[in-house]
């Protein structure tokens, strides 16, 4: 039996795209990869990079009470709320935030789900280091944090993934030049005692989104090809 597996990683840039449209497109790609894998047909693994208009997403295990605004109040700030099929609680997406949706067959990289989430965190930690920002992890809290084990703990990147038959969708939301006031309308990722931050806040200037996209793409590819 010949198994046709192509481990090429294709980078796809969607620019600014509505969350609903991005969800539809990545779902189609996710389903297509699973189908190709099951039929032993060729496929590409993909790294999707984009930004979204103002939107809040609530994961499967999220609590509705972590959204602090009513529907009318959401409309006033030009935002919407989506219930979505990823792990994690509530988070915010908006302009100036880099969103990355890797659609990968983890078996191509000998990765389990926990290892994969660790890899996503490691990629963002690497990007932060490139800009001179020391980032890391917080025990029992997914994502990337600064000063994670102190009272100054603040989150710079949220992570929530869906995985079926070792194929992934959803991914990470990395605050670059994000308008942080939008986080004040939620309990980010369910936390009420921890802050959020952005890369531009930490280094004191705006950053080229194209440059950060390139750095994140490099970090992810390097980590995946090391596996």
Nearest to 49 by CA among 105, 119, 121, 99: 99
Give yes or no for a contact between 55 and 93, defined as CB atoms under 8 angstroms apart: yes
Residue 89 Cα distances to 9, 28, 65, 66, 209, angstroms: 29, 24, 11, 8, 26
Give yes or no for a contact between 183 and 140, defined as CB atoms under 8 angstroms apart: no
Query: What secondary structure letter does DSSP report for 55?
Result: E
Query: What secondary structure letter does DSSP report for 146?
Result: E
How many Cα neighbours within 13 Å face the side chain of 111?
22
Q: Give the span between the Cα atoms of 99 and 18, in whole angstroms.
A: 12
For the chain, helix (H) and strand (E) counts, in that order, are 5, 11
Residue of 46, 50, 157, 189 marked active site: 189
Active site residue 157: no
Q: Give the span between the Cα atoms of 183 and 189, in whole angstroms.
A: 10
- Give me the active site residues, please: 189
């Amino acid at each position: 039996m010949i198994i046709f597996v192509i481990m090429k990683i294709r980078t796809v840039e969607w620019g600014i795209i509505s969350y609903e449209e991005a969800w539809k497109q990545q779902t189609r790609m996710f389903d297509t990869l699973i189908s190709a894998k099951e039929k032993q047909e060729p496929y590409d693994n993909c790294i999707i990079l984009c930004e979204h208009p103002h939107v809040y997403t609530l994961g499967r295990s999220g609590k509705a009470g972590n959204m602090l605004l009513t529907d009318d109040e959401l409309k006033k700030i030009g935002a919407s709320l989506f219930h979505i099929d990823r792990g994690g609680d509530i988070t915010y997406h908006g302009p100036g935030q880099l969103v990355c949706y890797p659609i990968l067959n983890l078996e191509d990289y000998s990765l389990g789900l926990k290892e994969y989430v660790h890899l996503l965190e490691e990629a963002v930690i690497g990007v932060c280091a490139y800009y001179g920002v020391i980032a890391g992890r917080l025990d029992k809290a997914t994502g990337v944090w600064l000063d994670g084990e102190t009272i100054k703990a603040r989150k710079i990147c949220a992570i929530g993934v869906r995985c079926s038959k070792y194929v992934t969708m959803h991914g990470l939301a990395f605050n670059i030049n994000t308008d942080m006031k939008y986080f004040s309308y939620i309990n980010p990722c369910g936390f009420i005692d921890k802050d959020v931050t952005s890369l531009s806040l930490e280094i004191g200037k705006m950053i080229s989104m194209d440059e950060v996209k390139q750095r994140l793409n490099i970090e992810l590819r390097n980590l995946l090809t090391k596996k």
